[in-house]
Amino acid sequence: MRNYHRWVALAGAAMLTITNVSVSMADVVGGGESLETAVTVSGPEDSGPADTAGDGPQQPGAPLGGQETPGQENQPQEGTASRVIRVGDNQPSNSGSGAASGGSGDSSSGVDYSQGPGFFQGGGQPDPSQTALPGQNEDIQIADVSNPLVQTTAKYSYDQMVQDINALQQKYSSRMHVNPIGTSLDGRTIYDCIIGNQGAPRHILIQAGIHGREYLNPMLLMQQMEMILVNYDTGSFHGNPLSSMFDQVAIHFVPMTNPDGITISQFGIDGIRSQQLKDAISACYVMDSAAGRGGDLGVYLSKWKANAQGVDLNLNFDALWAEVYSTGYPSYSGFKGTAPGSEPETQAMMNLYSSQYPWKAVIHYHSMGNVIYWDIAGNKVQPESAQLANLMSVVTGGYQMLPSEGGGGYKDWIQLGNNPVPSVTLETGRVSCPIPISEYALIWAQNRLTWAYAMEWAMGR
Ligand SMILES: [Zn+2]
């Protein structure tokens, strides 16, 4: 790939610059959390200090099994790192006066992405240190959407997503096909939105929102989709017209894999319709409280990761499942279920991948940590996964590549299965979930074009 090596060399510099974006402490620090608790960055999803230092419910995100010690290694869940990561210089400024003023608002306005992914220029003041960042000077003609249908909002809900999918489908009916691929326990449809030629010889899957509290990522995917649709006929990437790229590669977006879990994290038990499931959630709270993982109910529910009966879907896939460390009971987080593939949401994603599409790559969005999990013991596509992860690391401006341990995840299942393809997990955000909307401008800047690079990569395979 053109300039690829230059990007690799510059990734470190990009990370430094991009992560200097200022974050308003008022935005980050909510609910009486101490400053250092709320802004301790750097750990990957579920890791230590941000969630373990006196944060509301009994350390959601702390290691399972009772001995929850602040600062302890993170639990073996979803893409789990083998160690707690310090992202070095990747900390946000505590001064509130970072380099890029565009990053402190609650929308992406004011940010100039015109020079490519990872190029984050704020305030209209050219910064000499940003003159050679990844993507800059690349020939990329893909504009952000003016007057978007998919609005940036702090709690992007399932209902809003459905409304937006319908609106996009109406407006761009020839470019997007929407297929229901399953139904959640509480009766919400899980959607696969296919953009491009459905008969293309290469297909990519991008999915998000398999964990409830990680609800900025569904909005990210919806905004990626709208940007693609708006630019479909006029945009180009490295000189290739998007329309021609989408003839060759179709992208499937599953923006919200776990709509019930997201509803619980956003709206609490009241968001769930089934009385049986409401009771199941309450039972989780009782059991988690007994295990020292309860705490304030409102905070507890906001940290919800599982589906509506307390199964962590990203531990429920048949990938080293027997060895996956799990709570022994349904919980807001960390229960792998009673059998692999036991949940309807898990089955929907398994069925989608097992269908006849010629998959070339899968990207999974999670939060948090600004890291990429790309491997698993027994990975059948290790070199290719590393290659894809490395590319994503560069184009996100320096998300750090980490191997995974554990298992049970969708990524793991794809890499270990009968039809393995490169599969990587991108963990967005620098603060613990649910991530405040003030972080979104940076997340968007880092991820707005990941799909295009993945497409280009797939076209060469
Ligand atoms: Zn996750």
The answer, yes or no, to whether residue 82 has pLDDT greater than 90, is no
Nearest to 79 by CA among 239, 319, 395: 319
Contact residues for 79 (Cβ-Cβ < 8 A; gap 6+): 44, 45, 366, 373, 402, 404, 406, 409, 411, 425, 427
Contact 355, 326 (CB under 8 A): no
Q: What is the pLDDT of residue 103?
A: 29
Q: For residues 70-80, give the mean pLDDT.
A: 33
Q: For residues 224-236, give the mean pLDDT.
A: 98
**Cα of 426 from ligand 1 centre, angstroms:** 9
**Cα of 134 from ligand 1 centre, angstroms:** 27
- CA 152 remoteness from chain centre: 16
Q: What is the pLDDT of residue 329?
A: 98
**Cα of 139 from ligand 1 centre, angstroms:** 33
Q: What is the pLDDT of residue 380?
A: 98
**Cα of 333 from ligand 1 centre, angstroms:** 10
Give the helix ranges, DSSP H, for 321-381. Answer: 344-354
**Cα of 366 from ligand 1 centre, angstroms:** 4
**Cα of 212 from ligand 1 centre, angstroms:** 8
Q: What is the pLDDT of residue 30?
A: 29
Measured CA to CA, the distance from residue 344 to residue 349 in angstroms comes to 9
Convert the pLDDT of each residue in 255-288 to its tens digit: 999 999 999 999 999 999 999 999 999 999 999 9
**Cα of 7 from ligand 1 centre, angstroms:** 27
**Cα of 282 from ligand 1 centre, angstroms:** 22
Percentage of the chain beyond pLDDT 90 is 69
Measured CA to CA, the distance from residue 433 to residue 8 in angstroms comes to 29
Q: Which of 88-102, 152-166, 207-221, 243-257 has the lowest mean pLDDT?
A: 88-102
Instruction: Looking at mean pLDDT, say which of 19-28, 37-46, 337-346 comes out highest.
Output: 337-346
Contact 79, 45 (CB under 8 A): yes
**Cα of 210 from ligand 1 centre, angstroms:** 6
**Cα of 126 from ligand 1 centre, angstroms:** 36
- CA 1 remoteness from chain centre: 25
Give the β-pairing of 236-237 and 202-208. unpaired
Tokens describing residue 243: 């329309």
**Cα of 23 from ligand 1 centre, angstroms:** 23
Q: What is the DSSP letter of 88?
A: T
DSSP secondary structure, 239-269, as one string: TEEHHHHHHHEEEEEE--S-HHHHHHHHH-G
Q: For residues 104-116, give the mean pLDDT.
A: 32
**Cα of 104 from ligand 1 centre, angstroms:** 24
Comparing 333 with 48, the larger pLDDT belongs to: 333
**Cα of 395 from ligand 1 centre, angstroms:** 21
Q: What is the pLDDT of residue 141?
A: 96
Secondary structure percentages of the chain, helix, strand, coil, to 5:
35, 15, 50
Q: Which domains are delineated in the chain?
A: 1-461 (3.40.630.10)
Q: What is the pLDDT of residue 434?
A: 98
**Cα of 123 from ligand 1 centre, angstroms:** 32
Convert the pLDDT of each residue in 120-170 to its tens digit: 333 233 333 333 345 556 899 999 999 999 999 999 999 999 999 999 999
Q: What is the pLDDT of residue 308?
A: 98
Contact 272, 220 (CB under 8 A): no
Q: Look up the pTM and report it.
A: 0.76
SS3 60: coil
Convert the pLDDT of each residue in 364-405 to its tens digit: 999 999 999 999 999 999 999 999 999 999 999 999 999 877
**Cα of 10 from ligand 1 centre, angstroms:** 28
**Cα of 335 from ligand 1 centre, angstroms:** 13
Q: Across all residues in the chain, what is the average pLDDT?
A: 78
**Cα of 211 from ligand 1 centre, angstroms:** 5
Q: What is the pLDDT of residue 28?
A: 28
Question: How many Cβ atoms sit within 10 Å of the Cβ of residue 62?
Answer: 28
Contact residues for 138 (Cβ-Cβ < 8 A; gap 6+): 3, 115, 116, 238
Convert the pLDDT of each residue in 439-457 to its tens digit: 999 999 999 999 999 999 9
